Structure 1
Amino acid sequence: MNVLAFFTATVQTTRGLWRIGQTILGIIFRHPIAGTSIIPILSDGRIVLIRRRDDGLWALPGGMVDWGEDIPSTVRRELMEETGLELTKIRRLVGVYSSPDRDPRIHSICVVVEAEVEGKMEVQDALEVIEIQAFAPSSIPQEPMSHDHYRQLQDYLNGLTTLA
């Protein structure tokens, strides 16, 4: 195993352990965990979605806010980790979704943003993502999507700013 492969495997294992730790802390302290969903928009107007490894469903990229991190930093990091794309600009807040059953794993509060992105789509974290694809807004996959991402996308496409 070369040094780069070893380093990548170590980082992915550490991230996985951190996510498990976050879930455990959420259960222990009985407080919701903050996270993000990103609606990545390419220059041609297509929306980038990922297919998740855990449930096989299409989803928005995103994830949990790390300790000491703000929402824009989380958006930038999660976008790169899951899609290989770079954040150009956060255009707007689409909504804040806090229903206790929106994520089957934990109670999380999700801040959803629309973001201009650029670069080459490429799976960076094969433990989480199995596919990346860009869709015209009129050809977004129908339900079921992972978590409440279908609702988030519909709110976005309808021009809403949602607090739910």
Structure 2
Amino acid sequence: MTIQFTRNLWRFGQTVLGVIFRHPIPGTSIVPILPDGRIVLIRRRDDGCWSLPGGMVDWGENIPDTIKRELKEETGLNLVKIRRLVGVYSAPDRDPRIHSICVVVEVDVDGDMQAEDTLEVMEIQAFTPDSLPSEKMSHDHTRQLQDYLNGLTTLA
């Protein structure tokens, strides 16, 4: 089995267990900031929408390790520094797949943009804050990004 297949199988298993046991699943959204100040977004393959990179916390993993792993898998970028907590989002309908609790952080990144997980990510692009896509983003990422841009720390 490939490592990617094993990871995808593990994520699927986590999702199923979350549904069975009816407990929210912890995850992250990442606001990656390149050295030139641009914000990196991904276009998700499942819904075709722009999104912040991120994902579910794996068993035995802490939030900083999840951020580092998901950032690398979805963007190819390296975590330089976690800057700040943007918020914690826990509305039961924030993710159409499952009830998840999302910890959103702003991070400094470097490296070359190249998705390792091409099953999830169809495009990666960096935007200046004044040129962000205007269309609806995946999940509640429009709100997360707006809270970030407004300098808020949100508990929702």
* Structure 2 Cα separation of the partners of residues 50 and 14 of structure 1: 22
1:85 aligned residue (69, 77, 84): 77
- Which residue does 1:53 correspond to in 2? 45
| 1:96 alignment counterpart | 88
Residues 35-86 of structure 1 deviation map (CA, whole Å, 9 limit, x = unaligned):
0000000011000000001011100000000011100000000000110000
Partner Cα distance (2:126, 2:44) in 1: 15
1:161 matched to 2:153: yes
Q: Which residue pairs with 2:26 in the alignment?
A: 34
Q: Deviations over 1:132-155 (max 9, x none)?
A: 000000111123110000100000
**d(CA) in 2 for partners of 1:81 and 1:122?**
9
Q: Report the equivalent of 2:111.
A: 119
In the alignment, structure 1 residue 110 sits paired with structure 2 residue 102: yes
The answer to whether the 8 Å contact 1:143/1:150 transfers is no
- Tell me the SS of whatever aligns to 2:7: helix
| Count of matched residue pairs | 156
Provide the residue aligned with 1:3 in structure 2.
Answer: none
| Alignment gaps of 5+ in structure 1 | 1-6
Give 2:150's aligned amino acid. Answer: N
Give unmatched runs, 5+ long, in structure 2: none
Question: Which entry has the higher C-alpha Rg, 1 or 2?
Answer: 1
TM-score by length of 2: 0.98
CA distance in 1, matches of 2:155, 2:112: 32
Identity among equivalent positions (%) equals 78
What's the Cα RMSD here?
Answer: 0.8
Aligned to 2:15: 23
> After TM superposition, where is structure 1 displaced by more than 6 Å over at least 4 residues in a row?
none
Say if 2:53 is the partner of 1:75: no
Q: Quick one: distance in 2 between partners of 1:65 and 1:106?
A: 14
C-alpha displacement at 1:14, in angstroms? 1.1
- Structure 1 distance, partners of 2:35, 2:8, is 32
CA contact (8 A) 1:142 1:150 kept: no
Give the AA of the match of 1:149. Answer: H
Residue 122 of structure 2: which of 111, 117, 130 is its match? 130
